A and B are shown apart, each in its own frame.
Chain A
């Protein structure tokens, strides 16, 4: 359902060019959204036709996250990388972190946030163990070889849990 609505809205936004919208466009959007939703379902049968993804609290908290801590983290990350580009001061290494996240959406969000924020880059995610996914993170300046969650990516783990799990 989420995929259907997102694709319909995206198609209409792309087809809209300032004036009104042709009813034919809406029909095409609905057909394409239906095809995409059915395709996603047959590709991953565990998906269910629920409205859980439309929970407004989650969407609002996602937007708050996007424009609050994430944007601030990105600004810090770029100033940090700019400093390292100019001074060339690096001490790289790959560290391991148990995130405790189980859902793939939350893991994706956390991995993307990690990649765009200060000094860290997700290299691999091991989703085998029961107690949660293990992240292998390339850290450009290793301060601690066995770091805790907060040392590496601050409050992003909490946000990912709040928004997507």
Chain B
């Protein structure tokens, strides 16, 4: 089992995130864009976990955990902003 498979998986997920950017730009309403941003964040976390095998470093997973937490805070903040609370 060599890490090439993980590199390919990360590549496909990166392409998915790139395609989602289309919805981020084109989305007719603001919530559509936030949905796209949230999914891109999830995909980036999945990609980082896969790349930790490719680059053979555990630190990458720690970065992914922190990224997940920060993206959650960002999503909550944008949601609160859309409700008109900020």
The 3 closest A-B pairs by CB, nearest first: A14-B62, A17-B58, A14-B65
Query: Shortest beta-carbon distance, A136 to chain B, in Å?
Result: 15
Query: Shortest beta-carbon distance, A17 to chain B, in Å?
Result: 7
In the assembled complex, 3 residue pairs joining A and B whose CB atoms fall closer than 8 Å, in A order, are: A14-B62, A14-B65, A17-B58
Beta-carbon nearest neighbor of B62 in chain A: A14
Chain B hits for A14, CB < 8 A: 62, 65
Chain B positions within 8 Å of A, measured between CB atoms, are: 58, 62, 65
Interface residue ranges of A101-143 to B (CB < 8 Å):
none
Q: How large is the interface on A (under 10, 10 to 19, 20 to 34, 35 or more residues)?
A: under 10
Chain A positions within 8 Å of B, measured between CB atoms, are: 14, 17
Q: Give Cα distance in the complex from A11 to B5, angstroms.
A: 31
Chain A hits for B58, CB < 8 A: 17
Q: Give Cα distance in the complex from A17 to B58, angstroms.
A: 9
Query: Shortest beta-carbon distance, B79 to chain A, in Å?
Result: 12
Beta-carbon nearest neighbor of B66 in chain A: A14
Q: Inter-chain contact count A-B, CB under 8 Å?
A: 3
Q: Give Cα distance in the complex from A17 to B65, angstroms.
A: 16
Beta-carbon nearest neighbor of B65 in chain A: A14
Q: Give Cα distance in the complex from A14 to B65, angstroms.
A: 10
Query: Shortest beta-carbon distance, A138 to chain B, in Å?
Result: 13
Query: Shortest beta-carbon distance, B59 to chain A, in Å?
Result: 10
Beta-carbon nearest neighbor of A15 in chain B: B62
Beta-carbon nearest neighbor of B59 in chain A: A17
Query: Shortest beta-carbon distance, A27 to chain B, in Å?
Result: 20
Chain A hits for B65, CB < 8 A: 14
Query: Shortest beta-carbon distance, A29 to chain B, in Å?
Result: 16
Q: Give Cα distance in the complex from A17 to B62, angstroms.
A: 11
Query: Shortest beta-carbon distance, B16 to chain A, in Å?
Result: 14
Beta-carbon nearest neighbor of A14 in chain B: B62
Chain B hits for A17, CB < 8 A: 58
Beta-carbon nearest neighbor of B58 in chain A: A17
Q: Give Cα distance in the complex from A17 to B59, angstroms.
A: 10
Q: Give Cα distance in the complex from A140 to B68, angstroms.
A: 27
Chain A hits for B62, CB < 8 A: 14
Query: Shortest beta-carbon distance, A111 to chain B, in Å?
Result: 14
Q: Give Cα distance in the complex from A92 to B58, angstroms.
A: 43
Query: Shortest beta-carbon distance, A114 to chain B, in Å?
Result: 18
Q: Give Cα distance in the complex from A14 to B66, angstroms.
A: 11
